[in-house]
Amino acid sequence: MTDTVGTPRRRRRRRWLRYGGLAVGVLVVGAAGGGWALYAKLNGNIRADDAAAAELARYEKERPTSLVKGAQNILLIGSDSRSGDGNSRYGRDSGTERSDTTILLHLAAGRRTATAISLPRDLMVDVPSCLRSDGTRSEPTFAMFNYAFQMGGSACTIRTVEKLTDVRIDHHIVVDFHGFKEMVDAVDGVQVCLKKPIDDKAAKLKLPAGRVTLDGEQALGYVRARKSLGNGSDTDRMDRQQRFLGALVNKVQSNDVLLNPVKLYPVLDAATSSLTTDPDLASLRGLYELVRGLRHIPTEQVQFLTVPRESYVYNANRDQLVEPEAEKLFEQLRRDAPLAVAQGVPRDPSAKSGNSAPGAEENSYGGPGGDSYEQSYDYGEYAYDDGKLSGKQPDKPSMPVSPAPTFSGNTAAEDGCE
């Protein structure tokens, strides 16, 4: 079915996402009545990262400032820790952990778009002096990005990202292997499309080609595998992770999850028990306040991309940023300016517009291929009703807006099999 604006398919997605936010709200309100035990359990699942908050407060004066009220940047960190429930099977517990996956999630003011940007773990960056778990402090160093998490946990990773991007990190969420698997199992698996069969002994993964529904264990192997899938690079793996997350977004929005209390509770239980967050998010109410602003974002405006990167000049097995494309991306985030994604956008450092795709200059939003998008308005206070906005309509801008740069990536609306 063609998924164009106003189609029944898109209207259903919007309603499902809205009802999902309402369902979480019911649980929060239920704390005042018979739902207190349920609320207390879910609320108690979330672990507050107080140590990171204290460390970040120590360096508050050197951290970037937020330029746009209402926009938020959340750092999602996938920990490769082997400690904890069920994680030892993925390798020896050395007493340390690194950020196996790190995503900078930018939520635009008015929640008109959500953009998830993968940061390569092998990216060479400046890591500041950080507080170690034993109470000592490390020396500033130039190292791979995931070294920051090993050295000083989430606070060190946040400060490294802020130093790299000059983007203020408002919140952070850490998820380990076990939590990831539980979340996938809670939604009864996630469907992906495989162009070729997979037989990866290291990842304990054997799957046929075509559409396949992955359970939690299979999903973890799928998003972590490197040697047997694609070209074996970390960049290829990040692309695969992004497409999986897009499929997960679609699955969570589906009516057989959000509109079914029997299925909704396991999802909420898995989601909350798998998280370590900053203190402001470390409650069911805090997470609800975050999620409620996302319920109007169409899946085609949930975007995924990898920060522009290339092989490090002194070591082909490491990465470095591609400039000026990377700085253009970070500047868009700082200003909460729109950007677009499209598959196969070529890199052209000599182009004055940076990392842009042909045709991006021909429409108001900077979308690829000449597609026409409405100007990005603040929809935070408006509700969708069968594909239309109810309530007062936002004013149209009096001046034309410059085309948004386009980066190589995909959206949650795309079907990997098409």
Residue 224 belongs to a domain: yes
Residue 390 belongs to some domain of the structure: no
List the domain range (segments joined by +) for residue 309.
8-335
Instruction: Tell whether 76 is covered by a domain.
Output: yes
Instruction: Kindly report the three-state secondary structure assignment for every residue of 139-191.
Output: CCEEEECCHHHHHHHHHHHHHHHHHHHCCCCCEEEEECHHHHHHHHHHCCCEE
Q: Cα 278 vs. chain centroid, distance in angstroms?
A: 16
Phi-psi domain of 300 (left: phi exceeds 0; alpha: psi -120 through 50; beta: other): alpha
The verdict on residue 213 lying in a domain is: yes
> Model confidence over 162-173: pLDDT tens digits?
999 999 999 999
- C-alpha–C-alpha distance, residues 62 and 52, integer Å: 16
At residue 311, the 3 state secondary structure works out as strand
Instruction: Transcribe 73-117 into DSSP letters.
Output: EEEEEEE----STTGGGGS---S---EEEEEEEEE-GGG--EEEE
What whole-number distance in Å separates Cα of residue 193 and Cα of residue 248? 13
Residues 414, 304: Cα–Cα separation, whole Å: 11
Q: How far apart are CA 406 and CA 343, in angstroms?
A: 10
pLDDT of residue 345: 75
* CATH code: domain of residue 100: 3.40.630.190
* pLDDT score of 99: 65
Give residue-wise pLDDT tens across range 212-238. 999 999 999 888 877 666 555 567 788
**pLDDT computed for residue 346 by the predictor:** 64
Burial per residue of 140-166, b for 16 or more beta-carbon CB atoms within 10 angstroms, e otherwise: eeebbbbbbbbbbbbbbbbbbbbbbbe
User: Given this model, what pLDDT does residue 231 score?
Assistant: 54
Q: Is residue 143 part of a domain?
A: yes
Q: What is the pLDDT of residue 108?
A: 95
Q: What is the DSSP letter of 332?
A: H
Q: What pLDDT was estimated at residue 277?
A: 93
Taking Cα atoms as reference points, which of 258, 256, 285 lies closest to residue 272? 285
Neighbour tally for 227: CB within 10 Å: 10
* Total residue count of the chain as it appears in this document: 418
Note whether residue 370 is domain-resident. Answer: no
- Would 46 be classed as within a structural domain? yes
- pLDDT for 84 equals 45
DSSP secondary structure letter of residue 409: E
Count of beta carbons in the 10 Å neighbourhood of residue 8: 11
Question: Exposed, middle or buried: residue 232 (CB in 10 Å: 0-12, 13-18, 19+)?
Answer: exposed
Pairing mode, if any, of strands 210-214 and 190-194?
antiparallel
Residue 103 and residue 119 in contact, taking contact as beta carbons nearer than 8 Å: yes
**Overall domain count for the chain:** 1
pTM of the model: 0.75
Question: Quick check: is 358 in a domain?
Answer: no
Segments of the chain with pLDDT less than 50: 1-5, 9, 12-34, 82-84, 86-96, 348-400
Sign of CA dihedral 337, 340, 346, 352: negative
Between the alpha carbon of residue 376 and those of residues 2, 23, 92, 138, 197, the distances in Å are: 23, 28, 48, 44, 41
